[in-house]
């Protein structure tokens, strides 16, 4: 008897999708890596975030149009197939995106250990294993449950960031701060450091592209997905710049760079209190980012399997939970392996490098599609110079990173 095929459930609204994206972006970046970025950019860290936003913006617009044209799972792999009609390239893209998601989630879980250490000291392999097991179970229970949990955690982590901003406004002696010193001079060495910081800060924006991989579970995805991507990007950027400013005004960048729980330390410095609240929020922010990345990776495996690019077991959907259980378990185990294997900075840099490569390819794909096909009605469409600028910017960032390694 043949097994009945079950489809994914469309249960995600615009609001839930925005929270899904914000949860991934905010948890992955500001709570974990702001100290490392400060160690590279120094007091000019806000400019690294601004540059990273500009880098992301044009590619985000390209993704918005691609997701409107092709509102299905396996986002980037599907876009590559539509543009280049190459099964091999599509499989390669899907696997690279999956790897970047796995590395990103592993980066986030590494950051979890810094925040939980304020409450209990356990070996990292124990905490990482326990957290990943819980997240895997949540993902298996259903997309509705998973995204709603992610939305609640997102509200908590946004509260934490807004609270840092509020405390900073209340405690920092703005009347004595020389803000002119925070504006970088026109010196190549300084802007080079800011650009290197932007390369790492770019990691903090990773997440909007993950949104397209749950397109088959979004209500009216052709309209909802592009709106959600743009809203998510601008909300995250505004919060990043404000939190970065408060952080470097509160703590010397060199000190912040050595912190394993940077925002908890910023709170402690500003209030002279034990950062229990911020440590607690930081833990949940990190968990949220890992949860969303796990969903993303499992849906890429699902979409690739549906296109017969990887074994069919990855696309089997459970009748009760309506989720791809095998894909979810495989993604969770892979994330845990990399978490226990590589240090946080290595994971973040590898993730950024892979994403820059994919972003460049996706901008090329959109140009090819726009040239070869008529624009369908009722979709979001942008001028062709948008993906062209995206290509130039992404390649420039890759070159900067390559030069830094020589």
Which domains occur in the chain, in start order?
14-405 (1.20.1740.10)
> pLDDT at position 29, please?
64
> pLDDT at position 4, please?
43
Q: Is 13 helix (H, G, I), strand (E, B) or coil?
A: coil
Evaluate whether 272 touches 77 at the Cβ level (below 8 Å): no
- Give helix then strand counts, H and E, for the chain: 15, 0
DSSP string, 142-200: -HHHHHHHHHHHHHHHHHHHHHHHHHHHHHS-GGG--GGGGSPPS-HHHHHHHHHHHHH
Q: Which helix (H) or strand (E) segment is 46 a member of? A: helix 45-69
Q: What is the band of 1 on the pLDDT scale with cuts at 50, 70, 90?
A: very low
Rounded mean pLDDT, 169-196: 85
| Residue 140: half-sphere exposure toward Cβ, Cα within 13 Å | 15
> Which of 91-95, 130-134, 197-201, 342-346 holds the top average pLDDT?
130-134
Which residue would you say has higher pLDDT here, 406 or 69? 69
Q: What is the band of 7 on the pLDDT scale with cuts at 50, 70, 90?
A: low
> pLDDT at position 304, please?
82
> pLDDT at position 405, please?
63
> Which of 157-161, 277-281, 332-336 holds the top average pLDDT?
332-336
User: 272: which residues sit within 8 A by CB, 6+ positions away?
Assistant: none
Whether residue 188 is predicted with pLDDT greater than 70 in this model: the reply is yes
Rounded mean pLDDT, 316-334: 88
Whether residue 400 is predicted with pLDDT greater than 90 in this model: the reply is no
Whether residue 14 is predicted with pLDDT greater than 80 in this model: the reply is yes
Q: What is the band of 74 on the pLDDT scale with cuts at 50, 70, 90?
A: low
Closest listed residue to residue 101, CA positions, set 323, 291, 276 = 291
Rounded mean pLDDT, 221-228: 79
Give the range among 45-59, 153-167, 280-294 with minimum mean pLDDT.
Answer: 280-294
Whether residue 387 is predicted with pLDDT greater than 50 in this model: the reply is yes
Whether residue 123 is predicted with pLDDT greater than 90 in this model: the reply is no
Q: What is the band of 73 on the pLDDT scale with cuts at 50, 70, 90?
A: low
pLDDT in tens, 286-315: 787 788 788 888 888 888 888 788 898 998
Q: Is 218 helix (H, G, I), strand (E, B) or coil?
A: strand
> pLDDT at position 294, please?
87
Mean pLDDT of the chain: 83
Whether residue 144 is predicted with pLDDT greater than 80 in this model: the reply is no
Q: Which two tokens stand for residue 220?
A: 């009216």
Distance CA 344, CA 111 (A): 7
């Amino acid at each position: 008897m043949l097994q009945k095929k079950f489809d994914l459930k469309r249960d995600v609204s615009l609001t839930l999708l925005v929270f899904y994206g914000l949860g991934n972006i905010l948890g992955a970046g500001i709570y974990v890596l702001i100290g490392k970025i400060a160690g590279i950019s120094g007091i000019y860290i806000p400019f690294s975030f601004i540059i990273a936003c500009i880098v992301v913006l044009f590619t985000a617009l390209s993704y918005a149009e691609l997701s409107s044209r092709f509102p299905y799972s396996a986002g980037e792999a599907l876009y590559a197939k539509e543009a280049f009609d190459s099964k091999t390239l599509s499989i390669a893209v899907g696997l690279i995106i999956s790897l970047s998601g796995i590395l990103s989630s592993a980066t986030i879980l590494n950051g979890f250990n810094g925040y939980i250490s304020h409450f209990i000291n356990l070996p990292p392999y124990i905490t990482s294993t326990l957290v990943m097991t819980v997240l895997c179970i949540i993902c298996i229970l259903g997309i509705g449950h998973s995204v709603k949990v992610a939305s609640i955690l997102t509200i908590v982590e946004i509260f934490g960031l807004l609270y840092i901003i509020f405390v900073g406004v209340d405690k920092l002696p703005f009347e004595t701060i020389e803000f002119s010193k925070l504006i970088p001079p026109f010196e190549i060495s300084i802007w080079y450091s800011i650009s290197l910081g932007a390369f790492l800060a770019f990691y903090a924006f990773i997440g909007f592209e993950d949104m397209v991989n749950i397109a088959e579970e979004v209500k009216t995805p052709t309209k909802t997905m592009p709106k959600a991507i743009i809203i998510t990007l601008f909300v995250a950027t505004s919060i990043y710049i404000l939190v970065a400013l408060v952080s470097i005004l509160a703590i010397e960048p060199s000190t912040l760079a050595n912190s394993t729980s940077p925002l908890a330390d910023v709170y402690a410095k500003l209030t002279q209190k034990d950062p229990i609240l911020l440590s607690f929020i930081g833990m949940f922010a990190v968990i949220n980012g890992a949860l969303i990345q796990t969903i993303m990776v499992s849906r890429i495996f699902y979409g690739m399997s549906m296109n017969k690019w990887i074994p069919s077991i990855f696309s089997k959907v459970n009748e009760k939970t309506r989720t791809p259980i095998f894909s979810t378990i495989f993604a969770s185990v892979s994330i845990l392996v990399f978490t226990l294997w590589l240090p946080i900075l290595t994971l973040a840099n590898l993730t950024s490098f892979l994403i820059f490569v994919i972003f460049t390819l996706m901008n090329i794909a959109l140009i090819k599609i726009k040239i070869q096909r008529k624009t369908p009605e009722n979709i979001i469409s942008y001028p062709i110079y948008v993906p062209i600028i995206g290509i130039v910017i992404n390649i420039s960032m890759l070159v900067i990173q390559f030069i830094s390694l020589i």
